[in-house]
Structure 1
Amino acid sequence: MIKLIRNLFRKSWMIFANLSMQKKLVVIFVFLITLPITYVSYSSYRSNSNSVLASTTASAGQMTDNAMDKVDRYIEDLKRYTMLPLYNKDVQKYLDQQGTDWDKNSTVNMFLMYLTNTKEEISAVYMTDHYDAIFYYNKPGLNELYPYERLAEWRTRTEQAGTAPVLTGTHPVRVNGSEQRQVFTVMRSIQSVSTLKNIGMIVIDVDLSLFEDIIQPLNTVTHGDTWIVDELGKVVYNRDPSELGKDLSGSPLLAQATGQRGNFRLDIGGEPYMAVYSVSKSTGWKTLVYIPLKELLAPMKQSRNAMMIMTLSIISFALLVAMIISYALTKPLKRTVQLMKQVQRGKLDVRVNVKYNDEIGMLGSHFNRMLGRIRDLLQEVYETEKSKQKADILALQNQINPHFIYNTLESIRMLAELNDDDRVAELTYLLGLLLRYSITRRSDEIVTVRQELEHVENYLQLLQLRFPDKISYQFMIPETYYDLSIIKLVFQPIVENAIFHGLEKQAEPGSITITAWNERDDVMFSIHDNGVGMSEERLDSLNQSLTDGKTDKFGIGLRNVNERVRLHYGEASSLVVNSTLGEGTTVILRISGLMKAGEPERYQ
């Protein structure tokens, strides 16, 4: 271990010793001045920040528990209020009585008025009798209520709960015509004391001003945003009215709030927040306070800024000293810079007089070697340019040869026609067409599907002259595909491969079928032969050679087409071979995005 440390130290020292003088000075000043001060400043700020964060988080958690406790006590009071009809004999009697009269209305309304005025936040209290007649009393400001719209929901919830009270989260109710008001509700079914049967329901709507009075002090102290959600994850309260009733069950805001109480960090809108939460054991509601970390750490900003100013001042002073020393040491470089300017003006016969082996001496030596290399490279460029001129002349000469061959074939065809040898004339004519199509200039590399299929047809007709009654073919291409643009010589190598490796090896006649269809913007071409096919091992080897770049003696033409298509149309294009021994072979060519190209270009 000691030996390893010693070797590591020696290597580090060698690296440091081989640095330039300017880098050595910068490293020394960084380690001796900047690094210790930065470390101490950061450690102090980090420690104080963690202490402030822990203290503030604990305080916010206590306030959250207190707020939740107030809400729990309020809701427990409401649940006890829903039991009061059990102890009022008159209410019990009238709820089981069919129809309404003045005594029933006055007794029930007095009871509802009493309940409504027990707490300021209660907006309305409703009661139904055994025959679904609804009585209610509401606070001023609610001129019209529509309890019959909610009757079915009340009955469903109370029947499911039995004799237990039901607490529903924040939801909108219609009041005063089309106005919507957000409330949360406590309800319970009312049982007859004598028969223990349901004789009605009592429903209490509570205005959200209850939460504003409890939560506003919490938001003010923590500078945060408080949310109350029910056990299903729906928002019961937030200071933004548009958030009320929203389902947060799958939101990152609740993902980490899994215990009864605690805190966690998260990002909201790209800003870091500390979330403090507490879960009510009574209601199951969860209170969460999202506090911006910049607010929690606000007391540390002034201290941090002072430390940063002090650190930057010391670093600036250290850099100033380093610059002065570096300038004193780099004066000998001025001569080298002057020589560089002469080289820039084209004078390459200059040379630095190297006296020492320090950094400046090494720079002079490298400069002299660089000038020698530049002179060598200029000579190489001159020789390369001469070779390129010779190659261009040779290429121009070679371009003459294909045209000469084509013109010669045309002359042979004319002589064959003069001698009434139609078979030779037609064979020569088709060979000339094939040769002319294959003479590719850069401007003619893109053709239409129609031109490519005509080239394939010429090739097949030539083979039909060679092998009469041996080969047949058909093209099943949608008419709209004929004017699509495609690179030249895509189909012919595949057809050639199918004939010489599929049809030629069987005694009976064979056929070539070319079909096409599209998959979204990709166009699929199928070239099928009913030849001898190939084994699974041979097929796997062929498909592997199309992807790994290795040459296959039967797949050179296919690999050439595959590489050209992928280079021109992208990696999504492909060529795949499917074959069954004794049944034939199908080549599927996918050209990516060919349908998306729009109106095809026209080629002569």
Structure 2
Amino acid sequence: MPGEEAAITGSWRGLRSIRSKLIATVLIVIALPTLIVLYDYFTTSVRVVEQEVYAANQSLVEQAAMTINDTAKRMIQATYLLEADMAQSFGSNTFNWDYGNAEAMGAIFQIQKKMGYLKDILLGNSAFIGLVDAEGSVVTTLNNFNRGATGTIIREPWFTAGMELKGYPYWERVYRLPANLGYTENAPDKEFILLSRSFAFESSIRNWGLVIVAIPVSQFYGIPSKGLPDNTQLLVLDKGGTLYDIYGKEQYSLTPEQAEDSRHSGSVMRKLTLGKETYLMNAASVPQVGLSIVSLQRMGDFSAQLDNSRTKSIALFLLFFGVGIIIVIYILLRLTKPLYALVRSMSRVGSGNFSTKVEVRGKDEIALLGSHFNKMVAQLEELIHHVAEEQRQKEEAHFQALQAQINPHFLFNTLNSIKLMAMLSGTNRNVSDMITALGKLMEFSMKQNTLFVTLRQELEYLELYMSLQKIRYHDDVTVAVQVPEALLDCTVLKFTLQPLVENSIIHGSKLPLHIRIEAECPGQYILIHIRDNGKGVSEETLRMIANQLQQDHVKTSGIGLLNVDRRIKIHFGQQCGILLSRPEAGGLQVTVRIPYRKELEG
């Protein structure tokens, strides 16, 4: 039946179906672990990439610090070489700074030449070297140096600081050469890292003053011409915990803990939080200058770049992974499609439809199963056909035997009535009528050997039967027929109404007994109602009879209610048969439900 088939199909479509189990297996065993591994990989990769970036940055910062420290060493070395050269050339003699004296000018040119050699060999063209005595007189490698301003040079901060340290180097991290002193052609008006160191000869009666060495800031810190990356800052950390840019502008002030942590380089990745931003921090010390170089890379920019790369990788992976899963699920659906077709066919077979076939494609195990199923259904259909035909023949033989008997009790009672009336009646009219009616009944039973008759013929037979019953019961039993003319030519099983009317007469247990026969056709079926005004049956008896009518293998004798119901179901199907009910006026109503047909069958 459709409802049962839908229930079976619905259950197969649930979580218990093999298709759902296969798809769930693919998703749980393959897809889910893959996604978990992918998530763990990308989560771990963030930490790995951060560690690798930190290690790479640390290597670069340490290399930069070594380069800066090496530059600082060369600047200090230049001061010692110049000091040694001055001691060798002049000894304890007082140097003459008079630019108007030819001999003094020759010595000045000689000093400038030697300082130029030192600059070119150790420092580069952009640097400059100067020699300043205690009174502010200067000899320098600067081109176009303003000698008229030499007296003011002693007021420069590095001069006083350098003199106070007495031979120890003093570093001026950012020094812009005053315009009144001069400039270099290669680096005009630029910031310099300046070193000043005082020296004096023991045998000299004059304090020689300071040696100054200056290198442009960008050259000192090794900043390339294109500058640093946008997301990276190169800062200088002083001993007080303040971070400056390379041009001396204060950027951040660290806590003592942060400053201490920044001065210790190592393989452990460090992050620094400044305000609302978090940075990946790398640091390396420059011992010669007494400061540390700090590289800050903003984590937000780093994470954005990483997320962008990771998003592309995830999108590409999910694209191929999703396509792969879809292909696998499609293949599973294609593989299980024949199984679902087989299930639907089995459901139809279970509902009684043996004409269903399974389409067989290929030569695999499923195709072999479908082929065997088709053979089984064909054999089952043939077997059921033989069983049904055999059962039909048995029922017909049983019916023919009953028809030949025509109820021996009825014939016996009728003959007794004929005999009694022949003995007591002074006239032979009733005897003649009964014998005539009985003869017509016998003739109707013997001549019409078909299984089906029209409703009109069945009512004519019933009328002959009732003519005998009226004589027997002295007109205390009456039958009223109200059937539309359009339904009189419809096909009914032979001997359908007479057993039902006889059942009303026998079990009505009431005289006078009135029986009413009506017919209607509300759709594809004809409903014939046989209603009497007898005593009827109890509710319990009615349920018992209705239960017997629903059973397929109830043993019956005679041609009563159960026999008629069984014959109708055999010929017209389980949807037809007899229905009992109790009218409100009393008695019993029997309703016959048969298909609406007009053609007679043999």
TM-score range relative to shorter protein: 0.3 to 0.5
TM-score, normalised by the number of residues in structure 2: 0.39
TM-score, normalised by the number of residues in structure 1: 0.39
Larger Rg: 2
